[in-house]
Structure 1
């Protein structure tokens, strides 16, 4: 459906609602508030800026908690201007959505992520908005516990940390994460109203990069962030070895790929590429802690480095995923190498918390050919073979063949929209219906008009993944209560929740983040922005 048609639907809804209400003797204030709340979000989403602005200013005169009844003479003074506005001006500025959600790609998913650990929700909201305008992705934690969980779970590119947090001191958080942050080259910037010389000296002695005093000068702060990311990129370009594992890093991976492809084009010297991913590694971190997870990564890397030839190149591709280049080796011979390493690694025993556990890995192998001699193509083929191994039960290796490219991955991602605004549900369902993220066979789209219908529906399967778009203000059961029930009932590892909220609902934002919301988007939102967020979450969530 075109954006103009969405605009027409909004205008039709306004006209119909005012007509229906005009025929009733009284309307509750709660109904009026919800009408304005939904209208503000919908109008802004489809680009009707004047309607959005009028709805936002008019909402201030009404409350969602009031049970007062309004006559037409009373509410008409506030609402009939909407009819006048749409009759006079039918050419509101529209925001053109992308032709297809497929325009989003993995590069957008890999935009720099900044984790803010701070319970000052007003400052957090300001920083989030300003940073995301600069194309950073921002995740938020309002407590130390949530911040630590997000740090270990999402591996952010930078951390903004407050000293005063509700559950423990930011200095305690800093002490816990600084070692790993240094190894991963993650800059940490303290932002705090507590800025005595003693605190600053202690923070710098622990290893923070900067100490910014509140209140924050936004222009200077944004330039500081840009400067620190440029410095981070220089660090990354200056090193080729991953400090944690001893494997080469992504930079060396790219250089090796370029060199081997060039050699093949010049001399026809073949090589094979194996992508390796440790199975269920997140469960290791969740069950035994991230220090134990690091020990597993180090043990795996040590084993591989002692099992390959001098001319082979072993790289940490990202997280728990690795890559191995084998020059002068065809795919069948590479398979024998990987299977030997696979057998040796799966026999290793690790000890933690008085338990013994073992870890396996899955792998996919491809070989350079005349038909596939570009780096992107080779990575894609090895990736397809890797996911074939995972989908077949893990702890195995698959050789790429053309048959794999014809087989869709088995991964299923469910996007569930819970919003009482029918037009918002319709717009989002229409856009997401064409979304085809990488390595996912099926994206299922479901929508619910209220939280109660959603909670009572048979929507959950432990074998699938879910991203829930949850409106913060709904009749009967509001979004925060729905979120609480989701987190109480289902494993968090399978469900990501994005709250959709109005700008004035700061208390809802705070409560939602405290209850485990993974992100929030302020209404009105732009569909391309929302799609970008969801694709990034799906990328981190599934892979």
Structure 2
């Protein structure tokens, strides 16, 4: 007979515990019903026997609930036990009925809130068990319901606030909580929220104190605000809506209704944002949103001084992509670059399409040199692989970027212009690079002092032999160069047209378009950049191939198999690496 492994035993115990918890929830419901029934007893019927029944019920809860993992229920039951312990102490004594009734009424008054908490906890535990049973379904549903949103719950009722926080978290929302206005203000300054749930009647400051703070702050005024109130006065409702509330819900309320209202508000807000502030092609923010947000960020650093930088990005040789392959390919490239940028930014960074092939990024809290490092890292990712593919064809790009750090006294127009000027200078310096703006730099300059590392030179290895490409990269990677690879002539042609390449190591024989045919096409279209050096590799040693290659602009020719030492010498000579 096979012995049970420790893992199997643990899984079996977990299954038994899960089944036991589910059954016990049913028992808890029955016990809660009994407690509720006993707690509404008439004063004339209050006696020691009833008190003992209540005591024994809560004592049972105190002992059994934690055994099934219901720790919070056990803690509440322990408080109830202390309320009714007197019944156990007096059981063997002869006590006057008046004394018992007084004790009974006192204990009952102190148990009302605890029994309400008990009911809430059972609700939450029951939902948690249901979610455990449907974990796969909920893992798909929660992100849809939550919409990736973050909520702030502000209420001085600790029990209700804790209940709402846990319920919303179960639905996949990010949730923070505050018990008063000062704590809420602190959180609103530190974090970004999509919706605020605000209790109107709080002490010592009411929820009204927060309206002005939220609705007059340009960084907060667009946050959806739902008011929760224990008063159903029309005056409160009208005042709140005039002050900017998006919804008003009177306590007590059903959680399901509140959840539906919150979801509807968030979805509508995101739909409006998508239409008004998003670029329909790339999905990033548009120029309208950027113009608004740049002012918001500047107002923020006026109150809380910190560095901030702006980046202006322009795709290199984008026009040739549209002219050669059509605007549908250009659109794919724009989408691909937007996706690449978004994947390497923080949640607090603001990326927008400025127009055409231009993008801008606001980097709050980052100096110019820090931002430069981030942009250079993103550019390196762009160099390493295609940003788009269509029908099996890969499309590679690079971009030029200008960075300007905000300084006091600078207007928004000057800030944008300085970033644009630095980008233009990067274009003039050879493209495929990022420059930090320096005083006196202008769009007319092609040289000047720039605080940026010298751009690495780029080698394109165009060969259908994957192993050979890998060997070449391995042998040359110690040089101060970056690599781009192409598996055929078509891909190499596109790369040479769309980004800056300093040296192309080109195989003479490749599928789709061989090395000679690629050079002939570029010569016919006058598209071969003058700065590109060509090192042709070939397995054939015919004289006519050598002559043809030289006529097409090949700088040097090597026959396979070749010496890696000789290849490195030629690469250094062609790139003037010394």
Higher relative contact order structure (alpha carbons within 8 Å, sequence separation ≥ 6): 1
TM-score, with normalisation over the residues of structure 2?
0.29
Structure of larger gyration radius: 2
TM-score by length of structure 1 reads 0.31
